Amino acid sequence: MQVSGAWRLTARVFLPFAAGYYLSYLFRTINALIASRLSSDTGLGSADLGLLTSVYFLVFAAAQIPVGILLDRFGPRRVQSVLLLLAAVGAGVFAASTGFLSLLIARAMIGLGVAAALTAGLKSIILWFPRERVALLNGYMIMLGSLGAVTATAPVEHLLAWMGWRQLFGILAAATGATAALIYVVVPERGIVSSMASTPATLSSVFGDRRFWRTAPLSAACIGSAWSLQGLWASPWMTDVEGLDRASLVRQLFMMSIVLSGGAWLFGMTVHCIKRRGIGAETILALVAVLFIAAEFALILRAPLPSILPWSVVAIVGTATVVSFAAIADYFPPELAGRANGALNVLHFGWAFLAQYATGLILEQWSANDGHRSVQAYQVAFGLNVALQIAALVWFAMPWRRSIASWMTSILFFKPTDVSCAVESVGLYEDSVILLPADHDAEW
């Protein structure tokens, strides 16, 4: 790819879709900042606020499979531009809503309207850019999009100082409509060269793959929970448990969002480098899960650490989709990219919905004292999430456990003539200390 051609593709393909994903991330996380204003203006309780915020994830998740099919059939340009128009209408309705039901419908419209924001961008990268740069560009896409989370902290707080949240959503409606028009006008069309004869491009090809079902639950449990926390419950935790005032809360959320954006770039670079060394992205996903669980335990057990440290880990894990989509990209051909990414996103956003709504329900089991929930309420709610993540990690690690057990057995009981067979059964990657089974591809 020539330099001039690369810059042209970046301007006409990559950046417009990054703008759409930026708006998606802004809509996803903005309720954490305006939660108190929403509650005071509309009288919403914790459960209602949890449902209102999480319905975005529910509708988003439900739309992923149809969106994936549409992306594979009609391409990202047309699908993304049409859906963003719906998001613009939803933002306008949200701005004008006065009751819980109308707010809920508007939030659902926004969720449906940005449902293709990430997968359309990933599909465009697969269609227009070299395969060896897909993971790196995915990282850049998510890094730029996650700047929406940065915007949803201190910048939005400054805007709210001289306008209400209704006026803010009116501006977001106009910006979303303009982005839809930009994508439709600027992004070129590209035909998809299909290899259908060798690989049927059906959802059964995705859902019937054992590697998908080994990786997807762990990815969903960690990433969905991270979205749930940063998108809503980090703010009440910092207020109720840590006792932060409004200025300190906004500052901490801003720092988390900066870390979030940097994490996407870091994951993209890491996956790009390790795949060149023959190491699978699954290894990084396992390490991310362990780090995430440790950070949540630090919060739950009130470890004597600056709280920004574990909360920064939570923020970083929200961008681990770079790792998950890189792993999925190795499992399926390009013509299945939309369906595969959509299937994984169903679990990501479905988990985020359940975690966000369930947390609100659990918190409401404890009475509020002067508008604040007890530390124990948050510990129980967060602890349930951690237990499910540990279960998903155990499921994910089962093939490695069997391969290590097989390797230890071969070391203890092998005959001298069986050395080559023992080494082959371990399946050492070149230049790597990671031990993987010889049937790694079949199992994962």
CA separation, residue 332 to residues 142, 208, 209, 212, 335 (Å): 21, 12, 9, 10, 8
CA–CA gap between residue 380 and residue 389 (Å, rounded)? 14
8 Å CB contact between 365 and 45: no
Amino acid at 225: S
Per this entry, what is the length of the chain?
A: 444
For residue 279, pLDDT beyond 50: yes
Between 414 and 227, residue with greater pLDDT: 227
pLDDT tens-digit series, residues 110-160: 999 999 998 899 888 888 888 777 778 888 888 888 888 889 888 988 898
Cβ–Cβ under 8 Å, residues 104 and 51? yes
Q: Kindly state which CATH superfamily the domain 8-187+209-443 is placed in.
A: MFS general substrate transporter like domains (1.20.1250.20)
This model's pTM is above 0.95 = no
Q: Where are the domains of the chain?
A: 8-187+209-443
Other Cβ atoms less than 10 A from the Cβ of 20: the count is 27
Q: How confident is the model at residue 421 (pLDDT cuts 50, 70, 90)?
A: very low
CA dist., res. 75 & res. 404, Å (int): 43
If you average pLDDT over residues 37-61, what whole number do you get?
82
pLDDT surpasses 70 at 402:
no
- Residue 429 pLDDT more than 60? no
Give the C-alpha separation, 430 to 186, whole Å: 44
Q: Which letter does DSSP use for residue 189 in this model?
A: P
pLDDT digits (tens, 9 = 90+) for 59-118: 988 898 898 889 888 889 999 999 999 999 999 999 998 888 999 999 999 999 999 998
Exposed (0-12), middle (13-18) or buried (19+): which is 235, by Cβ within 10 Å? buried
Residue type, 150: V
- 256-273 burial, b at 16+ Cβ within 10 Å, e below that, comes to bbbbbbbbbbbbbebbbe
291 CB neighbour count, 10 Å cutoff = 16
Average pLDDT, the chain: 83
